[in-house]
Amino acid sequence: MKKVLTIAGSDSCGGAGIQADIKTMDALGVYGMSVICAVTAQNTMGVEDVQDMTPDIVRAQIDAIFTDIEVDAVKIGMVSSPEIIRVIKERLIFYKAKKIVVDPVMVSKSGYHLLKKKAIDELKGLISIADIVTPNIPEAEVLTGLNIITEEDMKNAAKNIIKMGVKSVLIKGGHRCNDATDILLYKENFLVIPGKKIDTENTHGTGCTLSSSIASQLAKGFSIKESVILSKKYITKAIENSFALGKGVGPVGHLIDLYKRGGTDYGEN
């Protein structure tokens, strides 16, 4: 079985973060492992509190895994602070980690700043060692300083981000009003991945799910382009099957959740 590591934050309500990542990996048939960078106290209405892990315990978790287990792909999500990001980058280079996906998580859907503003430069450094980075539109705006409205703007932002040294860039369109088309810049070519906006409030964890699906497919041996296409299908199905939970923004439904709820259409793995 292929082994995939998520380096991210814990989401107590289970919709995003480490919990979304492990659910996605499980559904896609890879073995999921985790390095926890922060514990969030959050629910469907918002983030109440955050406790960052120390850089030492982040380093120790990474060392524990890489000194024992061969890791086929790594997904990085919420990383909180410049100190933690520096440790992650140094350790991943040390262990010659393969197939690195960076989801540059900055602000939760509920508006909480999950990345400290002073950590942006370190995050760019981490992006430089990745195979793919998956910013949503507000994150791409922070990384580039550009204003992104049209598909052409998304393409310009991708060209700008690729200069950071990363091999490919996926700009996610989920924050646009009427469209969920994503744009991949890969080997100097653009791939427009069309998506219709699904009318639901329950989109907690979409970005976490998409990036851990990409890491899972890369681990299985698919190319970046194939992994992104398969993952767009996975997230679309998961949003179609999202559900109300608690009083706020509910989570996406992983294919394994459908199985547990007695559904029969599990989609493509």
Ligand X SMILES: Nc1ncnc2c1ncn2[C@@H]1O[C@H](COP(=O)(O)OP(=O)(O)O)[C@@H](O)[C@H]1O
User: Among 153, 159, 56, 42, which Cα is nearest to 107's?
Assistant: 42
Strands 168-171 and 182-186: antiparallel
Binding to ligand MP5 by residue 205, rule CB under 6 A?
yes
Binding to ligand MP5 by residue 11, rule CB under 6 A?
yes
Binding to ligand MP5 by residue 75, rule CB under 6 A?
no
User: Among 207, 230, 206, which Cα is nearest to 217's?
Assistant: 230
13, 14, 208, 209: the catalytic one is 208
Binding footprint of ligand X, residue count (CB under 6 A): 19
CA-CA-CA-CA dihedral for 34, 11, 210, 153, to nearest 10 = -120
Among ligand MP5, ligand X, none, what binds residue 24 when CB lies within 5 to 8 Å by partner kind? Answer: none
Among ligand X, ligand MP5, none, what binds residue 210 when CB lies within 5 to 8 Å by partner kind? Answer: ligand X
Binding to ligand MP5 by residue 204, rule CB under 6 A?
yes
- Which residue in 14, 173, 251, 253 binds ligand X (CB under 6 A)? 173
Two tokens, residue 101: 């996906």
Q: Is 205 a catalytic residue?
A: yes
- Which residue in 3, 59, 124, 197 binds ligand X (CB under 6 A)? 197
Residues 89-128 that bind ligand MP5 (CB under 6 A): 105, 108-109, 114
- Which residue in 11, 122, 131, 182 binds ligand X (CB under 6 A)? 182
- Which residue in 144, 206, 213, 241 binds ligand X (CB under 6 A)? 206
Helix (H, G, I), strand (E, B) or coil at 240: helix
Residue 85: alpha-carbon gap to chain centroid: 15
Residue placing its CB nearer to ligand MP5 in the complex, 47 or 186: 47
Cross-sheet strand order for the sheet of 168-171: 46-52, 31-43, 3-11, 73-76, 100-102, 132-133, 168-171, 182-186, 189-193
The answer to whether the Cα torsion of 120, 210, 1, 241 is positive or negative is: positive
CB 97 to ligand MP5: min, Å: 20
Rounded distance, CA 153 to CA 145, Å?
Answer: 12
The residues of the shown chain that bind ligand MP5, judged by CB under 6 A, are 8-9, 11, 16-17, 40, 77-78, 105, 108-109, 114, 204-208
Point out the residues that are catalytic.
172, 203, 205-208
